[in-house]
Structure 1
Amino acid sequence: MSNTSEFDAEGIVFVDPDEEVRRQTKAVFEGRVQLLESIADAEDSVIAGDADVVFIGPSLATAEGVAEAAALSELDPAVIVVLAAPVDVAGDVLRAAIRSGLNDVVEAPLTIAAVTEALSAAERTQRRRVEAPPPEPRKPMAEGRLITVMAAKGGSGKTVFASNVATLLARWGDPDRVVIADADLQFGDVALVLQVDPKHTVVNAAKEGEKLDAQFLETVLATTASGMRVLAAPLEPAFADEVPTVTYTRILGMLREMFDYVIVDTAPSLDERLLAILDKSDTVLFVVDMDLPSVKNAKLALETLRILNYPANKIKLVLNRSNSKARLDVDEIERSLRLPISASVPSDGLVPASINEGIPIVESHPKSKPAKAFEDVTRILLEARQQPQEGQKKRRFGR
């Protein structure tokens, strides 16, 4: 836990009618936050100018409690209102909190670290809300482009490809228009590689079912330091079953309407989910490592896609660790896979170092050879956007 001596509690109010909850909160913050029993008391505090931030406790995490809390913002739009909800809070309460204009929802019981993070995010949002004109609904410059990164073998570096390409698209354009989705629902590492600690994952979106809309989906996304958005994989492998394939592809479709670029990092398996994602993709970056098992698996996967009549012009082969000591012949790889190599990324000790730091190599070492190679890969995607997609019809692999 963070040291309370470093925590500025001035103007922070915590509201909960449960005496035990207030007692626990008092202990955590060493009595440095103002504790109130009711939202009516909080209203008095807001009117008196004593409250800058109001945390609504878990006992009030109900539709009625949220409605009352929303009135605090109407009293003073500059006041930040955050709901501290239990982990098992009902979905309709979360929706009500989001739609009523509350600044954030955090997990109860509160910790100093969670409060500090929530305040930082809420203050940024509040500044935009108070100082800027009302934002227009998010609209991509056209229908967003869905780019899938896949590999037929684990350890081929597809997550590194996906994170670096997404980072470059965000840097070269508008970070707020780029989202990376982790479709490896059991062992996805996108959030880890991008040093993001997501409050929510795709499971939260999936649980909404048919009620899911763009407004709620926006709140599920995490944000990197650069402003790029992240749809995180479930925190535990068992939760993957809570995200049906049809739901995941629907979520991707919604992201495509919200963003200019949707980068999807996939699991190394040619299963129903991957086939459904490929069916929705504009471009597929197929990562092939410079070793025989990777080439063999890639050949099998590509042959399967050909049998399913998948358009070959969507697939861009990218060679990873192209300077590997395996000394495989590139021409031979192209003949075996029956596709040209579109780009190659060399091996470099800086790459694993950047992964451990949680900073894509295009940011940590932008002049390195791998970073320049990732720039080449990203330019391929930008060029593909400018080219008409000849003869592309939506197809379900002949099914």
Structure 2
Amino acid sequence: MTILCEPAARAGQLSPALGGEVRVVETLGEASRLLSTDPLESLVVVGSAMNLDEALTFTEALRFEQPSVGVVLLRDVVDVVVLTKALRSGVREVVARDDLASLVDACARSRALSAQVSVVPQPRFTEHRQGQVITVFAAKGGCGKTTLAVNLAAVLAAGGERSVCLVDLDLAFGDIGICLRAEPVRTIVHGLGMLGHVDAAGASSLLTNCRPGLSALLAPVEPGDAERVPAGLVTELLEVLPTMFDFVVVDTPSAFSEHVLAAMDASHHHVLLTTPDVPALKNLRVTLDMLDLLSYAHDIRSVVLNRSDAKVGLTMDDIDRVVRSDIRAHVPSSRDVPISVNKGNPIVLDQPKHPVSEAIARFAREHVLAEPAVVAAKSKRWFR
């Protein structure tokens, strides 16, 4: 069922394109009243006769009150200004009024997204406990950071006993969606209109349901969108998401930034990944020194050595001399890992008895689930 907000004289052309039962109203107030009486409604099409500012105000309120309801906005002229304002307010799609084919597609996508939002775990506020935030970081690209983050999240969510949210903070080149074959209909950039007042309902509207117990907050997909996401939005989301999930696993880019530091600040656990090669080990050493300078606690760090069995001329003694920190997990190399990535199915789920899967599961069991959660102290960013 769909609510079409448009004067009756103009609604006749649009109703057939929407399919199914369409309820036509002439004001946004009437649309609000219908929504309040029908919890199953999932789509409102706001016609081009509606005032733009009023339509955006309506959408912003709806996003927090009923995040599973999507709004598709029709305009006589679609330009950059309209698109920017609409997306910031939470409008799912903007379509030219006369483009009926695009309207049909937009409505189908919105309904599919509403179905996903409705199965995202609902906020579970507790007075005494919040979920843990785990940030996975490697200062050198190509170490397998995203693969580790995805598989760690999948292990924690396995069996459906725990709820997990995977956050893709590699805003420019994030691959979480690809690794999980998740359609990036909504991403973190759609939370821009919530800045300053992010709550659980708003955060839920940004999430993509990937598997039972596992949801994801995906990175932007459009060029230039990464620069639009402020670190303040990351801070707010990482305050709200732990009230909704048992674990929040954050995948990061391979460089320190305000966004990464915001995640580090919110974290109960820093998982620092490296591989047995000199550039990666050097960058890990720099990372550890940087975290010391910023006064992050040592006891929330875990160094993980990926491709630990690679024969590259370095011994474990060589690695220990550079790292000067306990290595809590040794993950072997295997061609099965990129195969699992290409399939869009984490290896810990696809092959739970695989040596890589067992290493990641052991790390989760011994150093995430078994250890008490202590949130990181705020960093001393005196260098800014």
- TM-score over 0.5 for the pair: yes
For 1:159 and 1:198, the matched residues in 2 are separated by 17
2:74 alignment counterpart: none
Deviation at residue 125 of structure 1 after TM alignment: 7.5
1:43 alignment counterpart: none
Alignment deviations for residues 299-355 of structure 1 (CA, whole Å, 9 cap, x no partner): 122122223332222110111112223242123212211111101111112111111
Cα RMSD for the two superposed structures: 3.3
Q: Which amino acid in structure 1 is aligned with residue 155 of structure 2?
A: L
2:30 alignment counterpart: 68
Q: In the alignment, is the contact (CA less than 8 A) between 2:4 and 2:25 conserved in 1?
A: no
Q: In the alignment, is the contact (CA less than 8 A) between 2:136 and 2:149 conserved in 1?
A: yes
Deviation at residue 230 of structure 1 after TM alignment: 1.1
Q: In the alignment, is the contact (CA less than 8 A) between 1:17 and 1:37 conserved in 2?
A: no
1:290 aligned onto 2:276: yes
1:148 alignment counterpart: 135
Question: How has the CA–CA distance of structure 1 residues 362 and 113 changed in structure 2, closer, same or farther, with 3 Å as cutoff?
Answer: farther
Matches of residues 2-151 of structure 1 in structure 2 within 5 Å? 16-17=6-7, 23=13, 26=16, 33=19, 38-39=24-25, 65=28, 67-73=29-35, 76-77=38-39, 79-84=40-45, 92-101=57-66, 103-105=68-70, 106-109=92-95, 115-116=107-108, 118-119=110-111, 122=114, 137-139=123-125, 142-151=129-138
Deviation at residue 199 of structure 1 after TM alignment: 2.3
Matched position secondary structure for 2:129: coil
Q: In the alignment, is the contact (CA less than 8 A) between 1:309 and 1:398 conserved in 2?
A: no
Deviation at residue 380 of structure 1 after TM alignment: 3.0
For 2:223 and 2:13, the matched residues in 1 are separated by 36
Q: Which amino acid in structure 1 is aligned with residue 380 of structure 2?
A: F
The number of residues matched between the two structures is 348
2:349 alignment counterpart: 363
Deviation at residue 112 of structure 1 after TM alignment: 5.7
For 2:318 and 2:357, the matched residues in 1 are separated by 26
For 1:18 and 1:158, the matched residues in 2 are separated by 55
Q: In the alignment, is the contact (CA less than 8 A) between 1:91 and 1:208 conserved in 2?
A: no
For 1:357 and 1:383, the matched residues in 2 are separated by 28
Question: How has the CA–CA distance of structure 1 residues 36 and 341 changed in structure 2, closer, same or farther, with 3 Å as cutoff?
Answer: closer
Deviation at residue 108 of structure 1 after TM alignment: 4.6
Deviation at residue 245 of structure 1 after TM alignment: 1.7
TM-score, normalised on structure 1? 0.76
Question: How has the CA–CA distance of structure 1 residues 15 and 245 changed in structure 2, closer, same or farther, with 3 Å as cutoff?
Answer: closer
1:274 aligned onto 2:239: no
For 2:145 and 2:8, the matched residues in 1 are separated by 49
Pick the aligned partner of 1:209 from 179, 182, 195: 195
Tell me: higher relative CO, structure 1 or 2? Use CA pairs within 8 A at least 6 residues apart: 2
For 2:62 and 2:301, the matched residues in 1 are separated by 42
Q: In the alignment, is the contact (CA less than 8 A) between 2:295 and 2:377 conserved in 1?
A: no
1:162 aligned onto 2:149: yes
Q: In the alignment, is the contact (CA less than 8 A) between 1:103 and 1:125 conserved in 2?
A: yes
TM-score, normalised on structure 2? 0.78
Pick the aligned partner of 1:395 from 370, 378, 383: 378
1:261 alignment counterpart: 247
Alignment deviations for residues 129-165 of structure 1 (CA, whole Å, 9 cap, x no partner): xxxxxx9852257122110000010111111111111
Name the % identity.
30
2:87 alignment counterpart: none
1:238 alignment counterpart: 224
Q: In the alignment, is the contact (CA less than 8 A) between 1:95 and 1:216 conserved in 2?
A: no
